[in-house]
């Protein structure tokens, strides 16, 4: 493929098409609009459909409806819209409806600064909807990675039958970079498990070896019941302790069994490092520069770049080389993932945070300062 100049949001739309997304329901909101705009014109060409809903509550409901009817579906939004989607996100989690929600993060809370970036929705992406539920949240830090992780998000949603959140920040959404996209035939596309039994034998929420039940599309002959209530293997409401317990346990088990492929991260110059920067999204780009600058000074610093934020890639922190003593976590929030790093470090590292919440990027110099700064005694 030839190199193209692409914006992050454009790469997201292209990735969605490549992964087989054929339905997009959305509502205009800055800074995610380009994704819907592109898909509105590109989807019909591949036999898909864009629909502008009356609001984000409707958008989220629409992608669930389309997915249950058999289409890979997606929506894109930003903070205020993401908040509105939370009730239906919970529905998608318990009803095991594959779908992808892209949240191009802007500065919050509330209306905040619509055109300025932030990384403040990290915890919301994990715990925004009520109740216990597993989450898969991916976060790209380059335009090419936007494309790849969009495909991965769709694949995970299909494979594990659950909503997957692609958490971009405004910088990555609007960043233009030269990228070479993979050949379409080289892209691995996953389809949801579909039933092959006769319709009368079909149990839509039956436990399996993977924990993921096969999913029939409404309309293809397998009639079944789907609800946001806790349900039995036939999809009908239940409050029986053993059935409820096994349903919720299964929702967690199905991604626990996939942790190895779900937890995506990269390391850079970590082999001899005594300190590491743990970063994600646009901040990982500054972190990489900081590493290179510090290496020139002779400091042995490396980078741990997280592409999966949830489930938190505990293994990435735990497997840092033995000599690493110090971690710094730069984030465009008050320290949301910093706490996770502290938690899984179990006191093994000195962990510092670098926070910025004014809509401005964190510079490499700020990360360097954060790393060198002595803790107050």
Instruction: Give the residues lining the site for other proteins (CB under 8 A).
Output: 27-30, 33, 36-37, 40-41, 50, 52, 54-55, 80, 110-111
Minimum gap (Å) between residue 44 Cβ and other proteins: 8
Minimum gap (Å) between residue 282 Cβ and other proteins: 23
Minimum gap (Å) between residue 301 Cβ and other proteins: 42
Q: What 3-state DSSP class applies to 358?
A: coil
H-helix or E-strand containing 328? Answer: strand 326-331
Cα 280 from Cα 154, distance rounded (Å):
20
Residue among 169, 183, 166, 182 nearest 12 (CA): 166
Output 65 or 80, the one with its CB closest to other proteins: 80
Minimum gap (Å) between residue 88 Cβ and other proteins: 15
Cα 364 from Cα 294, distance rounded (Å):
10
Output 115 or 323, the one with its CB closest to other proteins: 115
Minimum gap (Å) between residue 84 Cβ and other proteins: 9
Q: What 3-state DSSP class applies to 293?
A: helix
Residue among 171, 141, 132, 136 nearest 152 (CA): 136
Output 109 or 199, the one with its CB closest to other proteins: 109
Q: What 3-state DSSP class applies to 10?
A: helix
Output 53 or 361, the one with its CB closest to other proteins: 53
Output 50 or 236, the one with its CB closest to other proteins: 50
Output 114 or 182, the one with its CB closest to other proteins: 114
Minimum gap (Å) between residue 77 Cβ and other proteins: 11
Cα 172 from Cα 59, distance rounded (Å):
23
Minimum gap (Å) between residue 287 Cβ and other proteins: 33
Output 27 or 280, the one with its CB closest to other proteins: 27
Q: Where are the alpha helices (DSSP H) in the chain?
A: 8-19, 33-42, 56-68, 79-94, 122-127, 143-160, 170-174, 241-256, 259-262, 283-296, 314-318, 336-345, 364-372
> What's the distance, CA 338 to chain centroid?
18
Cα 105 from Cα 84, distance rounded (Å):
14
Output 39 or 309, the one with its CB closest to other proteins: 39
**Own/partner pairs for 153-156, CB < 8 Å, 24+ apart?**
153/19, 153/100, 154/15, 154/16, 154/19, 154/20, 154/21, 154/72, 154/74, 154/100, 154/189, 154/190, 155/19, 155/188, 155/189, 155/190, 156/190, 156/258, 156/262
Q: What is the DSSP string of 175-242?
A: -EEEEEPPPGGGS---------S-GGG--TT---SSS----PPTTSS------SS-B-TTS-B---HH
Output 62 or 94, the one with its CB closest to other proteins: 62
Output 28 or 219, the one with its CB closest to other proteins: 28
Minimum gap (Å) between residue 110 Cβ and other proteins: 7
Minimum gap (Å) between residue 203 Cβ and other proteins: 37
Name the burial class of residue 10, with classes exposed (0-12), middle (13-18) and buried (19+) by CB atoms within 10 angstroms of its CB.
buried
Minimum gap (Å) between residue 40 Cβ and other proteins: 4
Structure tokens, 74: 């997606």
Cα 81 from Cα 112, distance rounded (Å):
13
């Amino acid at each position: 493929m030839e190199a193209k100049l692409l914006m992050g949001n454009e790469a997201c739309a292209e990735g969605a098409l490549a992964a087989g997304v054929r339905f997009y329901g959305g509502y205009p909101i800055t800074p995610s609009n380009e994704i819907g705009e592109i898909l509105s014109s590109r989807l019909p060409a591949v036999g898909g459909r864009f629909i502008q809903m009356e609001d984000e509550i409707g958008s989220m409901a629409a992608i669930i409806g389309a997915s249950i009817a058999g289409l890979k579906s997606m929506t894109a939004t930003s903070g205020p819209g993401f908040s509105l989607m939370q009730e239906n996100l919970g529905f998608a989690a318990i009803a095991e409806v594959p779908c992808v929600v892209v949240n191009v993060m802007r500065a919050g809370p509330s209306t905040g600064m619509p055109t300025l970036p932030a990384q403040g929705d990290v915890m919301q992406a994990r715990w925004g909807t009520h109740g216990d539920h597993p989450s898969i949240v991916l976060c790209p830090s380059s335009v090419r990675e936007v494309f790849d992780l969009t495909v991965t998000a769709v694949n995970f949603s299909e494979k594990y039958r659950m909503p997957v959140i692609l958490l971009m920040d405004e910088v990555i959404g609007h960043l233009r970079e030269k990228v070479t996209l993979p050949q379409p035939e080289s892209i691995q596309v996953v389809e949801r498990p579909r039933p092959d039994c006769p319709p009368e034998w079909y149990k839509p929420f039956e436990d399996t070896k993977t924990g993921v039940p096969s999913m029939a599309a409404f309309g293809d002959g397998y009639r079944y019941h789907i609800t946001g209530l806790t349900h039995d293997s036939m999809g009908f409401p239940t409050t029986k302790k053993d059935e409820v317990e096994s349903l919720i346990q299964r929702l967690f088990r199905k991604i626990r069994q996939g942790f190895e492929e779900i937890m995506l991260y990269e390391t850079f110059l970590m082999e001899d490092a005594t300190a590491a920067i743990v970063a994600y999204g646009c901040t990982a780009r500054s972190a990489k520069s900081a590493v290179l600058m510090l290496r020139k000074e002779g400091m042995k610093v490396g980078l741990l770049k997280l592409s999966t934020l949830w489930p938190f890639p505990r293994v990435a922190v735990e497997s840092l080389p033995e000599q690493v003593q110090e971690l710094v976590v730069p984030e465009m929030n008050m320290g949301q993932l910093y706490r996770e790093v502290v938690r899984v470090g179990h006191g093994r590292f000195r962990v510092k945070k670098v926070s910025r919440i004014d809509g401005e990027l964190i510079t490499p110099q700020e990360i360097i300062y954060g790393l060198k700064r002595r803790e107050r005694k």
